[in-house]
Amino acid sequence: MYSSAPRFVQGHSRTTGLRCSHRETAMIKFVKCDCGFIVRSDNEDVLVAGLQKHARDHHHMDFSREQVRAMAQVEPDRTTPVPTNADRLRPRFVHNEEQAMATAQTAATFDVAKYKQTTRAQWQDAAHAWNAWGTFLRRWLGPASEIMLDMAGVGPGARVLDVAAGAGDQTLQIAARLGAHGRVLATDIAPAILEFAAANARAAGFRNVETRAMDGEELDVPPASFDAVVSRVGLIYFPDKQRALAGMKRALKPGGRVAAIVYSTPERNGFFSVPVSIIRRRANLPSPLPGQPGPFSLGAPGVLEAALRQAGFRDVQVRAVAAPLEMESTEECLRFERESFGALHQMLSSLDESARTAAWQEIAAALRQFESGGRFVGPCELLVAAGTR
Ligand SMILES: C[S@@+](CC[C@H](N)C(=O)[O-])C[C@H]1O[C@@H](n2cnc3c(N)ncnc32)[C@H](O)[C@@H]1O
C-alpha cells in the first residue's frame, strides 16, 4: 500500500496570441500528482477520470468525482500558492502564467527521437572523459553500488544485466562478485563508452563480462534469462521509464531482482543542481516536466518507489545513501563536471562563447560554497531501490 496520499497541483494558461502555440481561446489544464503523474487536457471530464484512475491504480485510493473536482478547482482571484502540509489532499494552485506557459510549451515540443539521438551523441563524446574519471567514480559511487548489488542479490554464479553501464565501473564490481560461473551483460546506448567497459574488463582479467550496445528502453535479450538487472545513474535519462522497467522485468527470471541508483532531490544534490540551475537560467531553459528525463526525474519522495510498483515489482525497497563528492578543490569538481557531463554543454549550446565562459565562471563561484579547509565536499544523495519480479 502506498504510504502517502497524492497531492494535486493545477495550473492553467489562457493563450495570449504570440506567446503560445495553442488555440487562442484554449484553456489548457494540468493536474499533477506528487508522484510525477500528470494529466493534461482542456476537458474537465477527461481530467477527473484520469486522476481517479491514477489514484486508484497507483495509490490505491478512491476519490469521488466531487473530491477530485474540489482538489483540482482553480480559484481565479488567488495569486499565491496555498499549499498546507497539514492537509495533504488540498490542492496547490499555480497562477503563474509564465510558468504554466513554459510547461505547456515544453510538453508540446518534447521530441523523444531527437532526445535519444542527442543523449547518444553526448555520451559518445563524453565516453573518454567518463572513463578517465573511473578511479574517482569508484570512490564516489562504489559504496552505493555495493548496496545496490546487495539489494539485487548479486552473488556467485548469477546472470546479471547491467543497463546504461557506461564505462563499466559498476560492471567490474558485479563481475568480481560472480566468479567463473556467473556472467554480466553490460549494455548502453552509446557504443563508444561501452568499448571502455569491454577494455576495462579485459584489463582486469574478467572473462565473465559481455558488452552490447542497446537502448535501455528496448532491451533485446531473451525473456526470463537474468537473475538480476541493475542500472546506476542511468534510468533518470530514460524518457519512458515504464517501458524500460517493463523490459527489465521481462528480462528477469521469476523471483529475480531489479535494482537502480538515482539522484534524490536537487536540494540534496548541490554538486549538480547548482550548475544545472545556473545554466537553465542563463540559457533560458524551462525545467523538465514531471516524468520527463533529467537528473532528478526519479528523486522526489515516493517517485521511484511508485515507478517500480507501477511496473509490477513487489517487495520494493528504497534507501537514501549519502555519497558526497570529496575532491581536492572546487576546480577539480568543475573539471569533472565540464569534462564528463555532456548534458551541461548541450544545455549551454544556444549561448555564444563569452556567455558560456561567464556561465562556467558563475558555476565555479557558486560551487565554492562547498569548499572549506582546503577540501571540497559536494553534497550528493543517492536513492538505491530494488524490487522483485
Ligand atoms: C551517468 S552515465 C552512468 C554510466 C554508468 N552506469 C556509471 O555509473 O558509471 C549515464 C549512462 O546512461 C547511458 N544512457 C542514457 N540513455 C540511455 C538509454 N536510453 N539506453 C541505454 N543507455 C542510456 C549513457 O550513454 C551513459 O553511459
Based on the fold, state whether residues 92 and 191 are members of the same structural domain.
no
Whether 264 and 384 share a structural domain: yes
Nearest CA to ligand 1 atom 15: 237
- Which among 161, 188, 231 is the best mutation to test ligand 1's pocket, defined by most ligand atoms within 8 Å of the CB? 188
| Same domain (yes/no): 72, 139 | no
Write down the pLDDT at residue 347. 92
Q: Which of 86, 109, 132 is the last residue of a domain?
A: 109
Q: Could you tell me if 18 and 150 lie in one domain?
A: no
Residue 79: per-residue pLDDT: 32
Provide the pLDDT for residue 346.
86
Overall domain count for the chain: 2
Q: Name the packing angle between helices 353-367 and 270-282 (round to 10°).
A: 150
Which three-class secondary structure state does DSSP give residue 27? strand
Q: Are residues 175 and 201 in the same domain?
A: yes
How far is the centre of ligand 1, averaged over its atoms, from the C-alpha of 141 (Å)? 14
**Residue after which a domain boundary falls, among 66, 89, 109:** 109
Averaged over successive runs of 10 residues, the pLDDT of the chain (389 residues) comes to: 40 31 40 60 66 56 62 39 35 32 47 92 95 98 98 98 98 97 98 98 98 98 98 96 98 98 98 96 88 92 97 98 97 96 90 96 98 96 98
Q: Which three cell numbers stand for residue 172?
A: 567490474
One domain for residues 44 and 145:
no
Ligand 1 pocket: which residues have CB below 6 Å? 119, 123, 137, 141, 164-166, 169-170, 188-190, 193, 215-217, 232-234, 237-238
Range of the domain at 41: 8-109
Q: 124 C-alpha to center of ligand 1: Å?
A: 10
pLDDT of res. 61: 58
The CA distances from residue 202 to 61, 192, 210, 239, in Å, are 51, 16, 10, 32
Tell me, yes or no, if the pTM score tops 0.85.
no
Is the domain of 309 the same as that of 321?
Answer: yes
Residues 123 and 77 in one domain: no
As separate numbers, helices (DSSP H) first and strands (DSSP E) second, the chain gives: 13, 14
Answer whether 245's CB lies under 8 Å from 313's CB: yes
The DSSP annotation for 315-326 comes to: EEEEEEEE--EE
pLDDT of res. 9: 45
Considering the domain architecture, whether residues 98 and 140 belong to the same structural domain is answered as no
Q: What does the chain come to in residues? A: 389
Say what the pLDDT of residue 22 is. Answer: 30
Residue 272 makes CB contacts below 8 A (sequence gap 6+) with: 263, 266, 295, 337, 341, 380
197 and 56 in one domain? no
Give 275's contacts (C-beta < 8 A, 6+ positions apart).
Answer: 337, 341, 344, 363, 366, 367
365 in the same domain as 300? yes
Residue at 337: amino acid letter: E
- The predicted structure's pLDDT at residue 95: 27
